[in-house]
Chains A and B, each alone.
Chain A
């Protein structure tokens, strides 16, 4: 019998032992999607046919005795920001409605080659701009823990799909926290790899110097398995790192942090963080000390400027990246009644096709780059980026990993912050410095906040291309938490099934 509540590693094991087939496993997840996605709204497009045909091909290969990769036959939910040949790809925007890419993103090609079964495309904030999926042109995704709350964003659909057992694994992208924040808010593991660790080719660009693709899983090991499947140098991405992929699967299995130095970032703790969040974080740190790690407090004084710098750099790059959506070559075209010139149709289409937040950021970015303001805004933000990088470099001279809460609060109510952009931006305060410096970070569920019973995420950060370090710490802590409570944190989530 298939068990959709199992981990991806367990499913892979069962597939290898032929306890069930990949087609059965895929069908079970498609059934689960049919059952619960009406409530969660994690998926924008379910590709049942494609998924089953990929599963069938894996089963045939297995039957033929072919050597398969570790994740062959495992279903996965793909954030709708990655191009998949022939499958609708909207990036959560109306402007890309109906677009079916003629090519695969490198990550998608790698997943296909590994025999991973892509169930469909998941909801997201339009062009990854947002922290709640409320900016999607196709409705909000609900948090499986509490359907009145957001799952976070922008990769909220992917996180919710994994938390609601619609898929054991998912792919997200993280520009300022878009994997780690929803992972924290839905009680699963989410990783933003080192910038350049995973190819960005075929990922609809939001902010090129910050965007990074990463895995979601319900366990550290599952995330590591997916991380290794998608990582590695890509000659199609000039910013991809040409070096061996960190041994994250080995690290996830190590379960040992003896002698490791863990730095707590002073500026990302205490005031401004929900009490229940801080409490769980501190308990987790105690467990790490018990496991033999040493806790050190470090200071990163420039982090307080990171949020401001991010909201200049990302919109600036976005204003340029999103210029291509002009109705000439693909996507939506509005207002072409034969009387208007191309330029006018472009403007009308962009007005109609972009949501409010996207327009806000395009205008902000256009302003920050415009002559006379460049130095004061974009230029200054780049200098802050230097300072944030230096803060990390100094901190990592003293410690092996850094930790902080992922988010100031647990999952917030849908609509709570949607009319106050600046308040919404603040939910990324702890995750943004990682993107600014190009390092990697993990969100690990470490319990539920007392006040609201909602999941809390611990952020673990490591230097560039030392991603194995947070898998090592994450894996150890996950095991300690499991033995403390006797069951995974996610087992506390409400069962959404049943009519």
Chain B
């Protein structure tokens, strides 16, 4: 029997990755997003730029279903965010300022844990390790002993294991050295080549523009296309 949580319908697959129209979201009773319109097609990399406090992280959290939509039309991967978001969550990967890893477990153990949580098999886990360049010696190193870049790559490998179709990345380059940033960008390109859609919020505009196909600017809780 197919599991709707992990096997989207054909209609879901043809729908845009993100379709927001007139979306208002409140944080602490105040509008953090005030009438957002945004459409992201499957397989796109979209850069979300804007000053601190403009609503970039809130936009990503709305797409992840973590911040409720107060008003407007909001669909992610063909699912209405104002309805039951439970089934959608398996398909979204959110990487915020933290990596969501267990420091006392090794890289391989972290991936194996997440594989068990989402029902991925050993081959998929091994493929994610390889794709992220974490196979070999690194896989048996505890996360607490990794560099910031290696931790970030491990976190992205978790998204690969989870088979997330939409990656929401909030400042993914923060704290990484240039080679770490290059490795991260390679991994994002690899994911997009396999059909993943990526929305990334970043202050590192030069690097992110080279990665993204499109740029939007969030300012004062609204969105505009970059010139």
Genuine A/B complex: no
The chain B residues found within 8 Å of chain A, CB to CB, are: none
The chain A residues found within 8 Å of chain B, CB to CB, are: none
